[in-house]
Amino acid sequence: MDADAGRSDRRKTDRRKRSRGTRSGESWFGAFIGDADTHAYDDSRLDEVQVGDDGRSSASADVDSRFLSREGEPGVPAGQSAFDRIYRAFLSARAALGMALIATVAAAGVLGALPGRAVVWISLAYAALSVGMWLSPISGAEDEHASVPRLSRLHWTAGIGADILCFIALHVLSQASGLNYAALLVLPVLMAGVLTRRLQALATAAAVALLLLGNAWVGVIAGGDPAALMTQAGLAGSGLFVITVLAGELASRLAREELTAKDSMELARQQAQLNRLVIEEMQDGVLVVDRAGRVRAANPAARRLLVRRGLGRPAPFQLRGVVAWDQLVKTVERGFHEAVWPEAGRDVMLQFEQGTTRTLRVRIRFTRRADEPSAEELCVLLLEDVRSMQARMRQEKLAAMGRVSAGIAHEIRNPLAAIAQANALLSEDAVTADQHQLTRMVADNVKRLKRIVDDVMEVTPGTVIEATVIDANAEVAAACSDWAQAASLGLGDSSVLKVDLPDEPLGVVFDGEHLRRVLINLLDNARRHATDTPGSVHVRLLALDESTAQLSVSSDGSTIPVDVERYLFEPFFSTRSRGTGLGLYICRQLCEQYGASIDYRMRSAAEPNRNDFFVNMLRRDWVNSETRLQFPI
Q: What is the CATH number of the domain that holds 292?
A: 3.30.450.20
Per-residue pLDDT reduced to its tens digit, 387-411 = 877 777 766 766 666 667 667 776 7
Do 214 and 86 sit in the same domain of this protein? yes
Do 86 and 164 sit in the same domain of this protein? yes
Q: Tell me the residue range of the domain where 512 lies.
A: 469-618
Do 149 and 246 sit in the same domain of this protein? yes
Closest residue by Cα to residue 311 from 52, 527, 127: 52
Per-residue pLDDT reduced to its tens digit, 227-238 = 887 888 888 888
Domain membership flag for residue 10: no
* DSSP letter string, 263-289: HHHHHHHHHHHHHHHHHHT-SSEEEEE
Closest residue by Cα to residue 541 from 551, 528, 556: 551
Q: Of 437, 458, 479, which residue constitutes the final position of a domain?
A: 458
Task: Please enumerate, as own/partner, the contacts of 341-349 that have beta carbons within 8 Å and a separation of 24 or more.
Answer: 341/365, 345/382, 345/384, 347/386
Q: How far is CA 83 from CA 91, 160, 213, 561, in A?
A: 12, 16, 33, 76
Do 89 and 236 sit in the same domain of this protein? yes
Q: Of 389, 404, 431, which residue constitutes the final position of a domain?
A: 389
Residues near 208 by beta carbon (within 8 Å), at least 6 away in sequence: 164, 168, 185, 188, 189, 237, 240
Contact 195, 86 (CB under 8 A): yes
Do 344 and 477 sit in the same domain of this protein? no
pLDDT tier, 495 (very low <50, low <70, confident <90, very high otherwise): confident
Do 335 and 434 sit in the same domain of this protein? no
Domain membership flag for residue 34: no
The 3-state DSSP class for residue 380 equals strand
Do 121 and 168 sit in the same domain of this protein? yes
Residues near 62 by beta carbon (within 8 Å), at least 6 away in sequence: 47
Per-residue pLDDT reduced to its tens digit, 280-301 = 778 788 888 888 888 888 888 8
Question: Looking at residues 589-601, what average pLDDT do you find?
Answer: 86
Domain membership flag for residue 555: yes
The letter for the amino acid at 617 is M
Total number of domains in the chain:
4
Do 495 and 594 sit in the same domain of this protein? yes
Do 408 and 370 sit in the same domain of this protein? no
Domain membership flag for residue 210: yes
Instruction: Inform me whether the pLDDT recorded for 534 exceeds 80.
Output: yes
Q: How far is CA 265 from CA 22, 272, 440, in A?
A: 21, 10, 81
Do 416 and 498 sit in the same domain of this protein? no
Burial code (b: 16+ CB inside 10 Å, e: under 16) for 204-237 equals bbebbbebbbebbeebbeeeeeeeebbeebeebb
User: What DSSP element (H or E) covers 587?
Assistant: helix 583-593
Closest residue by Cα to residue 322 from 298, 362, 294, 359: 294
Domain membership flag for residue 499: yes
Domain membership flag for residue 365: yes
Q: What is the CATH number of the domain that holds 535?
A: 3.30.565.10
The reply to whether the predicted model has a pTM over 0.85 is no
- Give the span between the Cα atoms of 593 and 510, in whole angstroms: 9
| φ, ψ for residue 289, nearest 5 deg | -125, 140
Neighbours of 512 (CB within 10 A): 15
Q: Which of 62-66, 559-563, 590-594, 612-616 has the highest mean pLDDT?
A: 612-616
Do 408 and 371 sit in the same domain of this protein? no
Do 451 and 494 sit in the same domain of this protein? no
pLDDT > 70: percent of the chain: 73
Domain membership flag for residue 584: yes
Domain membership flag for residue 159: yes
Per-residue pLDDT reduced to its tens digit, 176-185 = 656 677 888 8
The gap between the terminal CA atoms of the chain, to the nearest Å, is 68
Which residues make beta-bridge pairs with 194?
A: none
Cis amide bond preceding 316, omega within 30:
yes
